[in-house]
Every structure is written in structure tokens, then in C-alpha cells.
């Protein structure tokens, strides 16, 4: 039984349409999938429709991944089981999208000083009317031959401190937790080890996330060693959080696939055990724990 609670469509920086994503989930034998695009829920309706139309054996969880500012870091909070039609929630996400548009314009402006012709409109066109992300800039810069790979663009242009980096202006961590809760969802700290925090800051992040009302943290992500899973789970236990699992799938690569590498040992309490309403048939998923 495969459960994957973190994935992207082309409504943010994934490459697959929602329909292609759910087809891929089926081919990878994923039975529960959360779509968690950056600051948008635009992909959910199409995914739901494809599953219903084709009667696919896949349970879709309505999700989102909200960007927040915490000290000088950008921290991502995943919301699961949200009501995507909630009007207040949609207005709140729209405000994040507006910040994304303004940031993208400023990024394009700064890049013009580094031999990149004004690219806001081309980058916007890559985003399918959804979230404009740094990944779209990276794809554009690869397209026009400024770098060979996305990671190369991040390294030379888009990482913190580089020419195209615009200091973030996202909502606060606690605000994202509140938005998710008020939309009926549970709040999960995404990929805790991706922020490259030292031990002291990671502990502080887990503590403050918990104090803000956060519910869980991603314990299982691909490429994470058993030792790293134990480290995050230990912090979860210290601060009263349960464990989530997610591939953070954006596109098929040698190192990332839907539903892959998300194994957890049976002493770890998964989020669907504490919040059984997340799943249609919680009992059917117990073997995932084994
Ligand atoms: P944004 O939310 O617009 O700042 O974009 C962040 C996204 O960029 C993340 O969700 C990742 O998908 C992607 N990303 C961040 N760092 C890198 C990197 N070094 N190489 C490739 N993709 C990256
Ligand atoms: Mn992304
Ligand atoms: Mn993320
Ligand atoms: Mn993600």
C-alpha cells in the first residue's frame, strides 16, 4: 500500500497535468495521493474529475503547500484535507499568488542586469495560470541557454544572495497554520531537512511550529536516510507532532518518483492514524505501518 502526501502538478512547478499525475499515481501503485501545489488549489478539480470519470482506484486528498517566512528562512507548510472551495481560504491563497507575481516581476527586472532579456511574460506563460515559481525561471533560463540544468540556474542565479533572488515576503509560519486549520485541514511541516538548518535552528523550528498549532512533520521523504528519519521522528515526539510521508514529486527523475522511498518503521505514528478522517478507509492502510 503506497500513500504519498506531497506532490505537484503544472499549476505550480510540477510538469504533469493533474490528469497525467493521477495516471502516474496509478501506474506507480499509489493508492492515496495528496496534490499539494505551491499556494494554489487549482489542480484539484481536474484530478478529481479524472478519478471519477475513469473510476480510478485512487483516493485524492485535497492539499496545498504554503510558503512562509520564518526568520530569514522560507519554510513550507503543507495543508491536507482542506476545503478547497472555502472562499476565505481562496482569497488568502490569492494574496500569496499576488506576492508571487510581484516577486516574479522584480526577479525579471533584476535578471535584466545580468544579460537575461526581460522574461516576466515568458515565465508567466510557463505557469499554466497557476503559481509562478523560481522553478519556472529556472526552466526559462535553461531554455535560453543560460545554464544546462535547473540546479545550475538555482546555483548561479536564483539561490539566496544570487542576482535573481528577491528576498521573500511570505506570510508568517503561524498564519499558514491558521489558514489551513480554518479551511478544515491539518498542518504539516514540509521536508524539515531541506532548509539546511543546524541542530539548534531545526529544534527551534519544530518547537515553534508545534507552538503555532502545527500537527505533523514529514518524516519520510525520498533520499532521506533511516538515521535522518529517526532524527525527525525524535523531534516530532519531543514536540507532540505526528509523521507524514511525501515524495514532493515534481517530475520523473532518477532520484524521485511518486510513492517511492516513503517507508516508515512501525514505531512511528503516521498522520492518518491520528487523523483517520483524512482517508476513506483507514483500516485498509494499516499494512503501510508494517
Ligand atoms: P519558490 O516557491 O517560487 O521560491 O520556488 C521554490 C521551488 O524551487 C521549490 O519548491 C523547488 O521545487 C525548487 N527548487 C528550490 N531549490 C532548488 C534547486 N537547488 N534545484 C532545483 N529546484 C529547486
Ligand atoms: Mn516546488
Ligand atoms: Mn517545498
Ligand atoms: Mn513541494
Expressed in angstroms and rounded, the spacing between residue 218 Cα and the centre of ligand 1 is: 17
Q: How confident is the model at residue 249 (pLDDT cuts 50, 70, 90)?
A: very high
The CA-atom distances, in angstroms, between 200 and each of 53, 158, 196, 205, 206 are 49, 26, 11, 9, 10
Give percent above pLDDT 90 in the chain: 91
Using the mean position of ligand 3's atoms as its centre, give its distance from the Cα of residue 9 in Å: 13
The pLDDT of residue 251? 95
Q: Is the CB of 137 under 6 A from ligand 1?
A: no
Q: Distance between CA atoms of 96 and 87, rounded to whole angstroms?
A: 15
Per-residue pLDDT tens for 67-120? Answer: 999 998 999 999 999 999 999 999 999 999 999 999 999 999 999 999 999 999
Does residue 133's CB lie within 6 angstroms of at least one atom of ligand 1?
Answer: yes
Q: Output the residue whose Cα is nearest ligand 1's atom 8.
A: 135
Does residue 149 line the site of ligand 1, with CB under 6 A?
no
Q: What is the pLDDT of residue 286?
A: 53
- Asked whether the CA dihedral 127, 131, 137, 139 is positive or negative, the reply is negative
pLDDT of residue 290: 41
Residue 84 is classified by DSSP as T
> How many A from CA of 195 to the centre of ligand 3?
9
Complete DSSP assignment for 169-225 = --EEHHHHHHHHHHTT-EEEE--GGGG---HHHHHHHHHHHHHTT--EEEEE-TT--
Joined together, the cell numbers standing for residue 70 give 520564518
What is the 135 CA–ligand 1 centroid distance (Å)?
A: 6
Give the closest ligand to the alpha carbon of residue 190: 3
pTM of the model: 0.96
Residue with CA closest to ligand 1 atom 4: 134
Is residue 2 within 6 Å of ligand 1 at its C-beta? Answer: no
Q: What share of the chain has pLDDT > 70, as a percent?
A: 97
Are 261 and 220 in contact, with CB atoms under 8 Å apart? yes
CB 151 less than 6 A from any atom of ligand 1: yes
| pLDDT, average across residues 196-222 | 97
Q: Output the pLDDT for position 283.
A: 52
Amino acid 280: pLDDT:
86
Q: Distance (Å, rounded) from C-alpha 246 to C-alpha 229?
A: 13
pLDDT at 279 over 60: yes
pLDDT above 90 for 23: yes
- pLDDT for residue 228: 96
Amino acid at each position: 500500500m503506497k500513500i504519498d502526501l506531497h506532490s505537484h502538478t503544472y499549476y505550480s512547478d510540477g510538469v504533469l497535468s493533474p490528469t497525467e499525475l493521477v495516471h502516474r499515481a496509478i501506474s506507480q501503485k499509489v493508492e492515496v495521493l495528496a496534490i499539494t501545489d505551491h499556494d494554489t488549489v487549482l489542480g484539484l478539480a481536474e484530478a478529481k474529475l479524472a478519478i471519477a470519470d475513469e473510476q480510478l482506484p485512487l483516493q485524492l486528498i485535497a492539499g496545498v503547500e504554503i510558503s512562509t517566512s520564518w526568520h530569514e528562512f522560507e519554510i513550507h507548510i503543507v495543508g491536507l484535507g482542506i476545503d478547497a472551495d472555502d472562499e476565505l481560504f481562496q482569497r488568502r491563497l490569492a494574496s500569496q499568488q499576488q506576492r508571487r507575481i510581484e516577486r516574479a516581476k522584480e526577479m525579471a527586472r533584476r535578471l535584466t542586469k545580468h544579460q537575461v532579456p526581460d522574461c516576466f511574460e515568458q515565465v508567466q506563460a510557463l505557469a499554466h495560470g497557476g503559481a509562478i515559481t523560481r522553478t519556472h525561471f529556472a526552466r526559462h533560463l535553461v531554455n535560453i541557454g543560460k545554464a544546462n540544468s535547473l540546479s545550475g540556474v538555482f546555483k548561479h542565479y536564483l539561490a539566496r544572495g544570487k542576482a535573481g533572488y528577491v528576498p521573500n515576503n511570505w506570510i508568517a509560519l503561524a498564519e499558514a497554520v491558521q489558514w489551513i486549520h480554518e479551511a478544515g485541514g491539518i498542518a504539516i511541516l514540509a521536508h524539515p531537512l531541506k532548509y539546511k538548518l543546524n541542530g539548534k535552528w531545526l529544534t527551534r523550528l519544530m518547537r515553534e511550529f508545534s507552538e503555532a498549532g502545527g500537527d505533523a512533520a514529514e518524516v519520510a521523504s525520498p533520499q532521506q536516510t533511516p538515521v535522518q528519519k529517526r532524527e525527525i521522528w525524535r523531534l516530532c515526539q519531543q514536540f507532540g507532532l505526528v509523521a507524514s510521508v511525501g515524495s514532493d514529486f515534481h517530475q520523473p527523475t532518477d532520484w524521485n518518483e511518486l510513492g517511492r522511498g516513503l517507508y516508515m518503521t512501525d514505531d512511528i505514528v503516521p498522520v492518518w492514524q491520528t487523523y483517520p478522517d483524512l482517508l476513506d478507509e483507514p483500516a485498509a492502510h494499516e499494512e503501510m505501518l508494517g
